[in-house]
Structure 1
Amino acid sequence: MKLISQLAVVIVSLGAVTAQAQEPNFPHLVTSGYGEVVAKPDMAQFSVKVTETTMNAEQAKAAVDKVIAAFTTQLKSSGVSAQQISSSNLYLAPQYHYPKSGQPELVGYRASRSVTVEVDDVANLNQYLDIALANGINQVDNVQLKVRDEAKYQQQARMAAIEDAKLKARSIAKGFKRNLGGVWRVDYNTMNPQPVMMRAMSMNEKMDASDTYQDATLVIRDRVDVIYKLVD
């Protein structure tokens, strides 16, 4: 027990030394800079689903397979490559009615499959969704809008965050009648852009493209934390 106690004291002491080593022991200023860039999406990804319920499991499977095959075939004929299309495995499950009394009653089999499509040009998105509707797809799970040159916009947001940190540091130091010395530490973690998402919907609902994705924007944000030395 004594050895364990001594070891615990050593570990705690080392932790305290490490914490002290990370904390500057001179006058300093901690500031955070934020930057954001608004980009117009030029790409998209969408997922759709077909669901069928019949009294026969094989018929339910055949029905969804037929819809998926027709949909993907027409997508390819419209210029979408096979690499841009991914289909999920079949989901098939019995459906039961549960009366207040008595045994559950089998009422059919439900089959479903999903397809995810990468859209190179957001201008074609509405056309591809129309193809889905025309071929029997009955649900849109999501539509995600993207920007092609994400790295360029991320760099712009990062530089804006750096300039914001500098501006804040100069302003605060001036307010306290101090001068900025060198940068002592910089902490940085990339902030991923938030995709523009549309809610899941039935294909029976009206989708007004002009009100949904055509005017959407993608905000790319970044942040940097800086510790400056303060001098007289």
Structure 2
Amino acid sequence: MKYAFCMTSLAWCLAAAPTLATVPDFPHIVTTGYGEAIATPDMAEFSVRVVQSESSAEQAKQAVDKVVEAFLAQLVKRGINREDIQSSNLHLSPQYNYPEKGQAELSGYRASRSVIVQVHALEKLNDTLDLAMQSGINQVDYIRLKVKEQDRYQQLARKAAIEDAKAKAISLAMGFDQQLERIWKVEYRQPHSQPVVMRNMAIDSRAESKGYQDSSIVIRDRVDVIYQMND
């Protein structure tokens, strides 16, 4: 049993080593605290794209530019601020036919441009997507649900992570009849947010997009702590 316990402890220490690489030379407990906060989304960001194929590069460019400019004009008309709109540069690529025999033949050009829009009122998301469809946009890359008070929820998640780390350390110390002395090291890495994302949706089948109204966002945090114990 003693041998098995040592091997288990060694495996656990090796697994924890990349997180807190500096290992102290005194008795200690390493804990990782996890916390989360649940938020209801109240805004959104989406990315849409127009893709057109024409016989010439200039025709393809003009076709996508016309759609994008029409969409941008409608967004501004509906009160969307210019700083909440990002439009990409033109992406143009030649298209080829590949006959069974002979060389590839140029068949035309494919052009695309994308637009990213921040919608600060979630109830306006469907209407804004309708504008995209009416303007000639033919692809939705993603819809990302967000929360305006991200920092407040992040702090709640971080507090929960700290309490989780403390509770684990106390429980472990008590379980092994030890006493905690002080915190020797705290390591924190800002986690990436986990927004609700709907990807690769067809512009003409948006009935499913209404599901965001009942969605929630889980905002997570984590903290790694080393506690010193009594010798």
TM over 0.5: yes
Secondary structure of 1:203's aligned partner:
coil
* Bigger Cα Rg: 1
Shift of 1:208: 2.6
Secondary structure at 2:207 match in 1: coil
**Residue identity in the other structure for 1:65:** D
- Which is further off, 214-223 or 137-146? 214-223
Q: Does 1:185 align with 2:190?
A: no
Q: Distance in 1 between matches of 2:134 and 2:158?
A: 44
The structural deviation recorded for 1:92 is: 2.1
Q: Write the letter of the residue equivalent to 1:214.
A: Q
The residue type equivalent to 2:143 in the other structure is V
Q: Paired residue for 1:219?
A: 218
Instruction: Report the alpha carbon displacement of residue 155 of structure 1 after superposing the two structures with TM.
Output: 0.8
- Cα pair 1:193 1:218 within 8 Å, conserved: no
User: Deviations 1:17-75 (Å, cap 9, x if unpaired)?
Assistant: xxxxx433322211111111111111211111111112233222221111111111111
Deviations 1:65-118 (CA, angstroms, capped at 9, x unpaired):
111111111111111011111111112222111101023223222221111111
Tell me the TM-score normalised to structure 1 length.
Answer: 0.85
Is the partner of 1:102 in helix, strand or coil?
Answer: coil
Name whichever of 175-184 and 163-172 sits farther off. 175-184
Distance 1:210 1:57 in 2: 37
Mapping 1:191-210, distance limit 5 Å: 191-210=191-210
Q: Identity of paired residues, percent?
A: 55
Q: Is the 8 A contact 1:139 1:202 kept in 2?
A: yes
CA distance in 2, matches of 1:53, 1:181: 69
Aligned to 2:165: 165
Aligned residue-pair number: 210
Aligned pairs for 1:1-232 (under 5 A) are: 22-211=22-211, 213-231=212-230
- CA distance in structure 1 between the partners assigned to 2:205 and 2:83 by the alignment: 29
TM-score, structure 2 as length reference:
0.85
Task: Return 5+ residue gaps in structure 1 as ranges.
Answer: 1-21
CA distance 1:104–1:25, change in 2 (3 Å): closer
Per the TM alignment, residue 210 of structure 1 is displaced from its structure 2 partner at its CA by: 2.6
